């Protein structure tokens, strides 16, 4: 280590010393300075045996020869148990090179029987030259630096302990479990760290302004802790514990130490260590380690609190989600029950009306008046529409009961289109006209005729219903890409892209300004797609809002 230049500036030193140079040249003064110096001063001759020609009182006191005379003896002899070769080589180097040697904090054993160094010395060895310039003597000045060295070592040890305290406590960040066991483990770690018989965390409760030792403790009995529960604790209080909590006081007594336990400005309480297991009691280092431990423990505690709050929030969310799911399952059951009930209750009255219309149509009820005859086809169409509606409801209920079975036959899809359209002919208003375009060769599929008709009826019915301003409704039936297809195109309200998936869900209706007044159940497309998929096919949609839509039923062609 080099000295700072302002200290070791030779010119400055010379000018500072110049007023005293005359007195300093006085040999008596020099002898006096050396003799009375608290540093050990010894001078040896530049001879292989290194005989001592001078030593001062301090050196005599430290040298391990007691009161026996030192002068005239070899320097090497004085420190028999020391590293003699190191001593010899140091002196030889100074003598040969003429350059001083400085050694700092060299470990040193005071007694030959000691195995470990119990002292540390810093020594400087200066060459002294004779008139011919050759080194004739070496002057050594040594200082006992044991205290500084030990102090430094202790500081390092404290830092080490503090770091290990932080590391050990940080491990509790990941420990799960209830608060008492958490505090218990943390207290045990801290007790071990500061060599305490007992350790307790005191948690401050701002609600009722009390402080209580936590159930998770180390070394206390439960009875003792019960006594230390809900003690009054207020800002401005004079009790030592109150002052630890609110004024950052550190209490250090023979048998106990208490330090604040806080995370930033959040005052959690206090951390106390009681009864040192060392006879010397708690040291300053223990207090520092306890402070570090309290800081780390506060962070760990805050972290746990945040974790617990998060877990509680998640639990609450999960419970509410579970409840919502249960409710929607219950609602689904209610809907299914309603579907069954509605279809059952509607069928009876409807078959009565149907009977009467048939009788009016075939004249069983006598001749029909001129004003009634033209509306009979419309009545029939509306009746079929209602019938279709009830069929949809019945089918949906069946579908949910898994009671739906397809009656599969080879059939021409063109016939299905014709049958569906036939039933719907009276429905379109003046503004609509149906345009059908079916392929020439038969479009043969294996399917359930009445279910396929139901799908087509629904698609055409929707095309009419959702083009309230009228327009052309086109129905095509052909084969393409190995599929049989029926496409129904309208120029109606169309469907926004984001709504398209919802069309096919149960009760999925899209109500816009244009469609608000139109009746419907939201079951038709749900059923259509489901039935199509049971045939190995699908119902898909293409649409432009405001321009119209095309719904396509596609079915696999049977192997020829």
- Are residues 237 and 246 in contact, defined by beta-carbon separation less than 8 angstroms? yes
Interface with ligand ADP includes 37 (CB under 6 A)?
no
Q: Give 44 or 527: the residue with its C-beta nearer to ligand ADP.
A: 527
The owner of tokens 């009671």 is: 403
Q: Give 219 or 520: the residue with its C-beta nearer to ligand ADP.
A: 520
* Helical (H) or strand (E) element with 241: helix 240-247
Candidate ranges 8-16, 64-72, 361-369, 503-511; the one touching ligand ADP (CB under 6 A): 503-511
Candidate ranges 8-16, 37-45, 367-375, 505-513; the one touching ligand ADP (CB under 6 A): 505-513
Interface with ligand ADP includes 458 (CB under 6 A)?
yes
H helices within 265-375, ranges in order?
A: 284-362
Q: In angstroms, what is the minimal distance from the CB of 515 to ligand ADP?
A: 5
Contact with ligand ADP (CB under 6 A) among 58, 142, 462, 554: 462
Q: In angstroms, what is the minimal distance from the CB of 493 to ligand ADP?
A: 5
Counting residues that bind ligand ADP (by CB under 6 A) gives 22
Contact with ligand ADP (CB under 6 A) among 515, 538, 540, 542: 515
The three-state (H, E, C) secondary structure of 86-112, written as one string: HHHHHHHHHHHHCCCEEEEEEEECCCC
The structure tokens listed for 529 are 């797609």
Contact with ligand ADP (CB under 6 A) among 297, 492, 531, 537: 492
Q: In angstroms, what is the minimal distance from the CB of 368 to ligand ADP?
A: 32
Reported residue count of the chain is 560
Interface with ligand ADP includes 500 (CB under 6 A)?
no
Q: In angstroms, what is the minimal distance from the CB of 535 to ligand ADP?
A: 18
- Are residues 127 and 100 in contact, defined by beta-carbon separation less than 8 angstroms? yes
Q: Give 336 or 515: the residue with its C-beta nearer to ligand ADP.
A: 515
What is the spatial distance between Cα 530 and Cα 298, in angstroms, rounded to a whole number?
60
* Tally of CA atoms within 13 A in the half-sphere of 364 that contains its CB: 8
Interface with ligand ADP includes 495 (CB under 6 A)?
yes
The three-state (H, E, C) secondary structure of 24-78, written as one string: HCCHHHHHHHHHCCCCEEEEEECCCCCEEEEECHHHHHHCCCCCCCCCCCEHHHH
Burial class (CB in 10 A: 0-12, 13-18, 19+), 493: buried
Strands 432-438 and 471-480: what pairing? parallel
Angle of helix 376-401 relative to helix 449-465, nearest 10 degrees, comes to 120
The owner of tokens 């040192």 is: 276
Candidate ranges 37-45, 88-96, 230-238, 506-514; the one touching ligand ADP (CB under 6 A): 506-514
Candidate ranges 41-49, 200-208, 265-273, 502-510; the one touching ligand ADP (CB under 6 A): 502-510
Q: In angstroms, what is the minimal distance from the CB of 551 to ligand ADP?
A: 6
What is the spatial distance between Cα 530 and Cα 5, in angstroms, rounded to a whole number?
94
From the centroid of its chain, how far is CA 64?
65
What is the spatial distance between Cα 244 and Cα 232, in angstroms, rounded to a whole number?
14
Q: Give 59 or 526: the residue with its C-beta nearer to ligand ADP.
A: 526
* Helical (H) or strand (E) element with 194: helix 179-194
Q: In angstroms, what is the minimal distance from the CB of 464 to ligand ADP?
A: 8
Interface with ligand ADP includes 510 (CB under 6 A)?
yes
Q: In angstroms, what is the minimal distance from the CB of 487 to ligand ADP?
A: 12
The neighbouring-strand residues paired with 103 are 123
Interface with ligand ADP includes 210 (CB under 6 A)?
no
Interface with ligand ADP includes 549 (CB under 6 A)?
yes
Contact with ligand ADP (CB under 6 A) among 51, 522, 545, 556: 522
Contact with ligand ADP (CB under 6 A) among 242, 286, 384, 490: 490
Candidate ranges 133-141, 310-318, 352-360, 507-515; the one touching ligand ADP (CB under 6 A): 507-515
- Are residues 165 and 286 in contact, defined by beta-carbon separation less than 8 angstroms? no
Contact with ligand ADP (CB under 6 A) among 463, 477, 486, 555: 463
Q: In angstroms, what is the minimal distance from the CB of 494 to ligand ADP?
A: 6
Interface with ligand ADP includes 335 (CB under 6 A)?
no
The neighbouring-strand residues paired with 106 are 121
- Are residues 394 and 343 in contact, defined by beta-carbon separation less than 8 angstroms? yes
Q: Give 217 or 491: the residue with its C-beta nearer to ligand ADP.
A: 491
Contact with ligand ADP (CB under 6 A) among 485, 526, 552, 554: 526
What is the spatial distance between Cα 67 and Cα 111, in angstroms, rounded to a whole number?
15
Q: Give 286 or 490: the residue with its C-beta nearer to ligand ADP.
A: 490
Interface with ligand ADP includes 524 (CB under 6 A)?
yes
Question: Residue 165: which of 257, 355, 299 has the closest Cα?
Answer: 299
The structure tokens listed for 512 are 């816009």
Interface with ligand ADP includes 98 (CB under 6 A)?
no
Q: In angstroms, what is the minimal distance from the CB of 474 to ligand ADP?
A: 12
The three-state (H, E, C) secondary structure of 439-455, written as one string: CCCCCEEEECHHHHHHH
* Contacting positions for ligand ADP (CB under 6 A): 458, 462-463, 466, 490, 492-495, 503, 508-510, 515, 520-526, 549
């Amino acid at each position: 280590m080099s000295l700072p230049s302002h200290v070791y500036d030779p010119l400055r030193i010379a000018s500072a010393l110049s007023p005293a140079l005359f007195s300093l040249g006085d040999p008596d003064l020099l002898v006096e300075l050396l003799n009375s110096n608290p540093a050990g001063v010894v001078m040896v001759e530049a001879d292989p045996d290194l005989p001592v020609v001078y030593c001062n009182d301090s050196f005599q006191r430290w040298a391990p020869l007691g009161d026996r005379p030192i002068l005239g003896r070899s320097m090497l002899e004085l420190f028999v148990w020391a590293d003699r070769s190191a001593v010899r080589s140091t002196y030889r180097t100074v003598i040969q090179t003429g350059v001083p040697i400085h050694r700092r904090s060299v470990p040193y054993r005071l007694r030959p029987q000691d195995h470990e160094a119990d002292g540390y010395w810093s020594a400087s060895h200066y060459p002294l030259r004779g008139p011919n310039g050759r080194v004739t003597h070496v002057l050594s000045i040594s200082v006992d630096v044991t205290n500084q060295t030990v102090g430094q070592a202790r500081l390092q040890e404290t830092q080490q302990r503090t770091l290990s305290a932080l590391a050990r406590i940080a491990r509790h960040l990941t420990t799960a479990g209830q608060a008492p066991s958490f505090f218990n483990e943390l207290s045990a770690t801290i007790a071990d760290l500061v060599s305490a018989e007992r350790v307790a965390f005191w948690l401050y409760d701002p609600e009722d302004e009390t402080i209580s030792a936590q159930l998770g403790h180390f070394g206390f009995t439960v009875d003792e802790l019960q006594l230390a529960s809900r003690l009054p604790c207020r800002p401005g209080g004079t009790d030592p514990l109150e002052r630890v909590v609110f004024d950052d006081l550190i209490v250090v007594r023979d048998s106990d130490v208490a330090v604040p336990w806080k995370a930033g400005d959040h005052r959690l309480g206090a951390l106390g260590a009681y009864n040192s297991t060392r006879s010397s009691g708690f040291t300053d280092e223990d207090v520092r380690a306890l402070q570090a431990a309290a800081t780390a423990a506060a962070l760990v505690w805050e972290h746990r609190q945040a974790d617990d709050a998060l877990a509680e929030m998640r639990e609450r969310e999960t419970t509410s989600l579970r409840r919502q799911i249960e409710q929607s399952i219950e609602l689904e059951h209610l809907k299914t029950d309603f579907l069954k009930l509605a279809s059952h209750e509607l069928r009876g009255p409807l078959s009565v009306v149907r009977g009467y219309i048939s009788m009016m149509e075939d004249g069983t009820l006598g001749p029909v008046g001129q004003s009634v005859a033209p509306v009979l086809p419309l009545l029939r169409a509306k009746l079929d529409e209602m019938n279709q509606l009830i069929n949809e409801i019945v089918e949906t209920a069946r579908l949910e009961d898994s009671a739906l079975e397809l009656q599969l036959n080879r059939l021409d899809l063109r016939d299905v289109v014709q049958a569906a359209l036939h039933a719907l002919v009276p429905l379109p208003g003046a503004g609509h006209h149906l345009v059908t375009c079916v392929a020439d060769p038969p479009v043969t599929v294996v399917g359930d005729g009445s279910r396929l008709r139901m799908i087509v009826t629904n698609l055409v019915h929707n095309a009419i219903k959702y083009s309230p301003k009228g327009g052309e409704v086109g129905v095509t039936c052909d084969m393409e890409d190995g599929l049989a297809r029926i496409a129904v195109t309208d120029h109606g309200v169309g469907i926004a892209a984001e709504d398209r998936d919802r069309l096919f869900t149960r009760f999925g209706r899209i109500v816009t300004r244009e469609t608000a007044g139109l009746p419907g159940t939201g079951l038709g497309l749900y059923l259509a797609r489901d039935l199509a998929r049971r045939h190995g096919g699908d119902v898909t949609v293409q649409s432009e809002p405001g321009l119209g839509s095309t719904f396509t039923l596609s079915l696999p062609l049977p192997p020829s």
